[in-house]
Amino acid sequence: MNFQKILDEIYAEIQPELSRGKVADYIPALAEVKREQFAMTLTLPDGSVYSVGESTKPFSIQSISKAFTFTMALDIYSKALYERVGVEPSGNPFNSLVQLEYEHGKPRNPFINAGAIAITDALITHYRDEYKTLEAVIGFVRRISDNPEISFDSIVANSEMEHGDRNLALARLMKSFGKFENDVQQTVMTYFKHCAITMNTEELSRAMLFLAFGGTDPISGKQFITPAQAKRINAMMLTCGHYDASGEFAFHVGLPAKSGVGGGIAATVPGVMSIAVWSPGLNQYGNSHAGTLALELFTTKTGLSIF
Ligand code: GLU
């Protein structure tokens, strides 16, 4: 298949969509990002990389980092993790407090904000403090992307903390149910910092490759997790990766993927390749508008979906 030609076609077809959608403005540092931008990268197991658009331009990966922290926590806690966080789609917006209240402080899944904050809490308990936890998360992302340069943007993290009342409220609500082990402020700040990891589509696509290949990076041969764990993370991305639009994404795109309000989407085509796409304009659910359409065009043109 001529992947470069397919990407070039997608790039041309997606142009009218780049001025649709709305850049995330509830995090002031993200509100400054120009909407009309697009990048897409495919990484294959033989190391070949195909890109289009601004694929070397860094962006805030935001909730895509939840796929990485969930991977780490699953590896550490195994089945005991499900006592802290469920595995069902929420059908609710990413930062909803309502469901958490009537489900007694146990988040539905690791990809809604409450679930991801609970995962950060679990990681801090394991690594003993928030600095070691952040170091471990960044270290893990550096290893899976085979890139020692990956880091986070403290301006974005601080900007989010200044407007972080809702996420702090989620953590406090969990604490009120006795379902939170560490300091709320420090844990939420650590969560904001891992959300503020900055990557471009080339780096992000590379980082997802191990998840497309049963937990082992086919380029370096390094095994990060077991095939059973990789299955669970892919399943979670398919069913919960796009908040209350997860069903719609599976319906139109048909790939396990995780989105972030920075406009990125990271996807796997299990056994075939990993994909990252970025376009900052978001749809009403907080997922990249053009990025979602580009992935839909990709699976339509190539027939590469899991269904
Ligand atoms: N850090 C963002 C928040 O907690 C992540 C949301 C997202 O990317 O969907 O609101």
Mean pLDDT, rounded, for 215-242: 97
The model's pLDDT over 36-67, given as tens digits with 9 standing for 90+, comes to 999 999 999 999 999 999 999 999 999 999 99
Angle at 79 between CA 140 and CA 73, to 5 degrees: 20
Confidence of residue 94 (pLDDT cuts 50, 70, 90): confident
Position 92 scores a pLDDT of 79
Rounded Cα distance between 149 and 259, Å, is 22
User: Is the same domain home to 164 and 238?
Assistant: no
Could you list the residue range(s) of the whole structural domain that residue 291 is in?
3-27+35-54+200-221+233-302
- What long-range pairs does 9-15 form, CB within 8 A, spacing at least 24? 9/297, 9/301, 10/40, 10/52, 10/294, 10/297, 10/298, 10/301, 11/38, 11/40, 11/52, 11/53, 13/297, 14/38, 14/279, 14/290, 14/293, 14/294, 14/297
Confidence of residue 256 (pLDDT cuts 50, 70, 90): very high
User: Is the same domain home to 212 and 292?
Assistant: yes
User: Is the same domain home to 117 and 39?
Assistant: no
How far, in Å, from the CA of 302 to the mean position of ligand 1? 31
**Which atom from ligand 1 is nearest to the alpha carbon of 243?**
9
Mutation test of ligand 1: which of 261, 265, 283, 287 has the most ligand atoms closer than 8 Å to its C-beta?
261
Q: Does residue 63 have an active-site annotation?
A: yes
Q: Does residue 191 have an active-site annotation?
A: yes
How far, in Å, from the CA of 45 to the mean position of ligand 1? 30
User: Is the same domain home to 181 and 111?
Assistant: yes
On whether residue 307 sits in a domain, the answer given is no
Q: Does residue 243 have an active-site annotation?
A: yes
On whether residue 228 sits in a domain, the answer given is no
In order, the DSSP letters of 153-180 are -HHHHHHHHHT-HHHHHHHHHHHHTT--
User: Is the same domain home to 204 and 166?
Assistant: no
Which among 60, 66, 85, 145 is annotated as catalytic?
66
On whether residue 175 sits in a domain, the answer given is yes
Whether 120 is in the pocket of ligand 1, judged by its Cβ within 6 Å, is: no
| Extended strands (E) in the chain | 39-43, 49-53, 59-60, 151-152, 197-199, 257-259, 264-269, 273-278
Position 288 scores a pLDDT of 97
Q: Is the pLDDT of residue 142 over 90?
A: yes
On whether residue 226 sits in a domain, the answer given is no
- Provide the CATH number for the domain around residue 252: 3.40.710.10
- What the block records as the tokens of 256 is 């396990």
Q: Is the pLDDT of residue 224 over 90?
A: yes
Mean pLDDT, rounded, for 241-252: 93
Q: Which of 196, 170, 65, 182 is nearest to 115 (CA)?
A: 170
Position 244 scores a pLDDT of 87
- Amino acid making up residue 284: Q
Total structural domains in the chain? 2
Whether 113 is in the pocket of ligand 1, judged by its Cβ within 6 Å, is: yes
User: Is the same domain home to 68 and 172?
Assistant: yes
Position 160 scores a pLDDT of 96
* pTM of this structure: 0.97
Q: In the block, which residue shows the tokens 């939170």?
A: 180
Q: Is the pLDDT of residue 138 over 90?
A: yes
Q: Is the pLDDT of residue 93 over 90?
A: no
Mean pLDDT, rounded, for 272-294: 97
Q: Does residue 179 have an active-site annotation?
A: no
User: Is the same domain home to 95 and 185?
Assistant: yes
User: Is the same domain home to 41 and 92?
Assistant: no
Confidence of residue 95 (pLDDT cuts 50, 70, 90): confident
Confidence of residue 210 (pLDDT cuts 50, 70, 90): very high
